[in-house]
């Protein structure tokens, strides 16, 4: 009886104090509930699979026959299974890419699956995928390219009606669509119903986005719209899946729609943006967006995938990871293996949370109330948070451990329903009784994850050192991720000299016979010469912890030892060897006059070689890359009579400046000539990082 009374009076005392303290007022632009739900999805897949898969292109011109779409073993349930197993939350399918081919039987065009051999023209890929997503509890998103290089009326008002009709089809016939993706590539040359011409449009005006968005929201209010127009989420400004360390979910979208924002600003958003437009980082698991067999051994290395994860999801952006479905119609096994490795690494990094059992205190708690107490950041409830008094914009929260605890990751989340506030923060660890700063950072947002060298800490402290308004943090976690040994880098120069690099303290073992390297293989001590065709495989090894890296594989043809650049139509011949030095980070440009294209370069390979393609590595280093958009490639036996082996465009090179591979029928040649026909940016010199042949 007495205890009950005491308990009741205790509750009675606490209760009024709780309700007297008001919650913090929202600050600045806020996310809608739709956007909050979208943030919580974090990680989902992209699928590029269309005519390009069968024509081996990145951008179709618009004249390819629908009959080429002929997967032998298409299985969307396999896609869904792979995606689900990776813990991703949805799939965005490219329903129509720039060449205009539709993966659903649109009533408005003949250029679709209905005129392909797949399922005898009766198939509907969007429908099949929608069903598979439902079965695997995944959300479906769709990409509809505004640019259509096939449509005869592209550039005219009639096309806009067509575009909107297709939007309506996609948004009404397939259930909920969580995200509608509008790509920024708009206008250029194309087939356009046989006109074969250049059509330039102003993408801010041509599509009348306000009207288009109205239509979308009337038809599908649950759909979040990404990309061009007054969108609810933005591109992160690169196709490498990396957000800025500073990343605001805000954007000056009015300026953007007035053409006053350069896309390079997307990487960090705008601190003073007037609208909540969070970043989505898109990247393909391979160099290209569409499947190309030559990229089967070019799946991004595990190290890179792990970095991408930490630099997207760990930097307040969602990660949209592309799995280029292959010609069979399946997620390729090489991609699946890498994806699983990534997921396993991330899982083990975040295996055991370390702060939940600690003593949590803060130097300011809003109204001294339990409702906003510091320990809310470790309670696992996304709707509770630690908040400070209105006037308090700098404060610290401390976690004390019973015993020294090893830590090398910290994860933080603001309660974004009240706005993104934090401008700067630091992390300190108490090591041997001394506070030591382990990180100095800027924004947090929906989620921020920090990686730092392992510390053995008796306490951890997060100092918010600058904030737009009072502090509102919903979650802080810490982990001790296993040591990650980075795979070695392998490089071979023109003369066949091989150099390998690993992180300091790690050793490298390698093989040159295709076998898997182990600690019993050859130990790398210094550079060595290997000028024959070879596949080098190397592994780095951390002796202290007895851990190996993932394996790096590098494939080379005969070295370019005998190669000589014979002539170039302009440019400095003293440095021209950079294009054959085996190092993509050094480049060489045609002379300043090279805006007068075409320009050409002729190489003597020193011997007859059987080749079936060539590669052009565009400039990699620098801000304004001098990229070639159209090319011609010739071979010769005698440097007199030349045969054109290939010509065309380097599609999407501006956004994705990866090595460009162009294949042709096998031929024997000694001389090669590469012609830069036109450039991405006019009035700029064009350059080459590396030219190579495919043997």
**Where does this chain bind ligand FUL (CB under 6 A)?**
58-59, 183-185, 282, 289, 652, 655
* Minimum gap (Å) between residue 94 Cβ and ligand FUL: 6
**CB closer to ligand FUL, 189 vs 363:** 189
Residue the block writes with tokens 């989505």: 280
Closest to 401 (Cα-Cα) out of 367, 356, 440, 436: 356
At residue 600's C-alpha, the angle toward residues 595 and 604, to 5°, is 155
* Minimum gap (Å) between residue 376 Cβ and ligand FUL: 39
**CB closer to ligand FUL, 247 vs 655:** 655
Which residues, listed in sequence order, are joined to residue 414 by a DSSP beta bridge?
Answer: 473
Closest to 442 (Cα-Cα) out of 286, 247, 261, 278: 247
- Separation CA 459–CA 440 (nearest Å): 17
* Minimum gap (Å) between residue 134 Cβ and ligand FUL: 25
Closest to 535 (Cα-Cα) out of 555, 516, 560: 555
**CB closer to ligand FUL, 183 vs 600:** 183
**CB closer to ligand FUL, 96 vs 494:** 96
How many angstroms separate the first and last alpha carbons of the chain? Answer: 90
* Minimum gap (Å) between residue 203 Cβ and ligand FUL: 12
**CB closer to ligand FUL, 185 vs 663:** 185
**CB closer to ligand FUL, 300 vs 673:** 300
The values of phi and psi at residue 249, to 5°, are: -85, 15
**CB closer to ligand FUL, 185 vs 257:** 185
User: 353 vs 357, 407, 476, 478, CA distance in Å?
Assistant: 9, 10, 10, 6
Residue 35 CA, chain-centre distance (Å), reads: 20
Tokens of 425: 């923060």
Count of residues making up the chain: 695
Contact call for residues 117 and 137 (beta carbons, < 8 A): no
| Residue 638: Cβ-neighbour burial (10 angstroms; 0-12, 13-18, 19+) | exposed
Contact call for residues 631 and 648 (beta carbons, < 8 A): yes
**CB closer to ligand FUL, 265 vs 282:** 282
* Minimum gap (Å) between residue 184 Cβ and ligand FUL: 6
**CB closer to ligand FUL, 52 vs 116:** 52
**CB closer to ligand FUL, 477 vs 655:** 655
33: left (phi over 0), alpha (psi -120 to 50) or beta: alpha
Say how many C-beta atoms besides its own lie within 10 A of residue 511's C-beta.
18
**CB closer to ligand FUL, 226 vs 425:** 226
* Minimum gap (Å) between residue 42 Cβ and ligand FUL: 19
* Minimum gap (Å) between residue 552 Cβ and ligand FUL: 27
Tokens of 497: 């000299």
Residue nearest to ligand FUL (CB): 185
**CB closer to ligand FUL, 355 vs 653:** 653
Which residues, listed in sequence order, are joined to residue 268 by a DSSP beta bridge?
Answer: none
* Minimum gap (Å) between residue 58 Cβ and ligand FUL: 6
Please name the residue ranges forming H helices in 51-124: 51-55, 76-85
**CB closer to ligand FUL, 148 vs 282:** 282
Contact call for residues 372 and 21 (beta carbons, < 8 A): yes
Tokens of 540: 């780095």
Tokens of 33: 């509930």
* Minimum gap (Å) between residue 655 Cβ and ligand FUL: 5
* Minimum gap (Å) between residue 604 Cβ and ligand FUL: 36
User: 174 vs 212, 380, 561, CA distance in Å?
Assistant: 19, 35, 57
Residue 184 half-sphere exposure toward CB, CA atoms < 13 A: 20
Tokens of 358: 């600690």
- Separation CA 306–CA 322 (nearest Å): 15
State whether the Cα torsion 336-339-344-350 is positive or negative.
negative
* Minimum gap (Å) between residue 243 Cβ and ligand FUL: 16
* Minimum gap (Å) between residue 343 Cβ and ligand FUL: 22
* Minimum gap (Å) between residue 629 Cβ and ligand FUL: 13
- Separation CA 223–CA 235 (nearest Å): 17
């Amino acid at each position: 009886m007495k205890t009950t009374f005491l308990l009741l009076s205790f509750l009675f005392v606490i209760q009024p104090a709780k309700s007297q303290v008001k919650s913090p007022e929202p600050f600045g632009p806020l996310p809608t509930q739709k956007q909050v739900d979208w943030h919580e999805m974090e990680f989902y897949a992209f699928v590029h699979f269309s005519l390009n898969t069968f024509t081996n292109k990145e951008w179709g011109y618009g004249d390819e026959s629908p009959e080429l779409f002929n997967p032998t073993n298409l299985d969307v349930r396999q896609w869904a299974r792979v995606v689900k197993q990776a813990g991703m939350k949805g799939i965005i399918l490219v329903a129509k890419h720039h060449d205009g081919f539709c993966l659903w039987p649109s009533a408005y065009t003949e250029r679709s699956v209905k005129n392909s051999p797949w399922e005898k023209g009766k198939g509907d890929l969007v429908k099949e995928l929608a069903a598979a997503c439902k079965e695997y509890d995944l959300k479906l998103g769709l990409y509809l390219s505004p640019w259509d290089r096939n449509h005869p009326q592209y550039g005219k008002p009639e096309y806009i009606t067509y575009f909107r009709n297709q939007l309506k089809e996609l948004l009404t016939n397939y259930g909920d669509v969580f995200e509608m993706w509008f790509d920024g590539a708009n206008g250029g040359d194309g087939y356009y119903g046989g006109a074969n011409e250049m059509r330039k449009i102003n993408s801010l005006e041509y599509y009348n986005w306000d009207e288009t968005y109205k239509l979308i929201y009337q038809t599908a209010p649950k759909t979040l719209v990404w990309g061009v127009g007054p969108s609810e989420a933005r591109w992160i400004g690169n196709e490498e899946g990396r957000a800025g360390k500073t990343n605001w979910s805000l954007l000056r979208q009015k300026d953007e729609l007035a053409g006053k924002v350069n896309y390079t600003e997307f990487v960090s958003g705008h601190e003073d943006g007037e609208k909540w437009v969070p970043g989505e980082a898109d990247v393909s698991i391979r160099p290209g967006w569409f499947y190309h067999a030559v990229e089967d051994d070019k799946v991004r290395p595990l190290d890179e995938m792990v970095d991408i994860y930490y630099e997207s999801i760990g930097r307040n952006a969602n990660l949209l990871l592309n799995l280029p479905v292959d010609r069979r119609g399946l997620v390729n096994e090489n991609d699946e293996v890498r994806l699983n490795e990534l997921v396993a690494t991330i899982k083990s990094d975040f295996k055991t949370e370390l702060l939940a059992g600690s003593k949590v205190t803060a130097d300011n708690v809003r109204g001294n109330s339990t409702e906003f107490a510091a320990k809310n950041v470790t309670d696992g409830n996304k709707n509770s948070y630690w908040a400070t008094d209105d006037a308090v914009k700098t404060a610290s929260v401390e976690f004390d451990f019973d015993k020294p605890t090893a830590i090398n990751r910290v994860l933080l989340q603001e309660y974004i329903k009240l706005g993104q506030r934090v401008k700067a923060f630091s992390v300190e660890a108490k090591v041997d009784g001394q506070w030591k700063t382990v990180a100095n950072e800027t924004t947090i947002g929906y989620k921020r994850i920090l990686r730092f060298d392992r510390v053995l800490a008796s306490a951890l402290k997060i100092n918010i050192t600058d904030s737009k308004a009072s502090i509102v943090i919903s979650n802080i976690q810490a982990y001790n991720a296993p040591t990650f040994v980075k795979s070695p880098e392998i490089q071979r120069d023109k003369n066949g000299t091989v150099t390998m690099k690993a992180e300091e303290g790690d050793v490298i073992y390698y093989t040159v016979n295709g076998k898997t390297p182990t600690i019993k293989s050859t130990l790398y001590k210094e550079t060595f010469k290997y000028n024959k065709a070879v596949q080098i495989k190397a592994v780095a090894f951390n002796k202290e912890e007895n851990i190996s890296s993932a394996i790096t594989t590098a494939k080379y043809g005969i070295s370019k030892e005998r190669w000589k650049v014979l002539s170039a139509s302009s440019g400095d011949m003293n440095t021209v060897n950079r294009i054959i030095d085996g190092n993509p980070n050094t480049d060489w440009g045609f002379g300043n006059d090279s805006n007068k294209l075409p320009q050409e370069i002729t190489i003597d390979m020193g011997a007859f070689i059987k080749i079936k393609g060539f590669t052009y590595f565009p400039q990699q280093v620098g801000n304004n890359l001098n990229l070639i958009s159209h090319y011609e490639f010739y071979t010769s036996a005698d440097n007199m009579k030349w045969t054109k082996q290939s010509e065309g465009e380097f599609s999407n090179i501006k956004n994705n400046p990866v090595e460009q591979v162009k294949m042709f029928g096998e031929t024997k040649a000694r001389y090669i000539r590469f012609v830069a026909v036109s450039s991405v940016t006019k009035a700029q010199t064009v350059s080459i990082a590396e030219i190579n042949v495919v043997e």
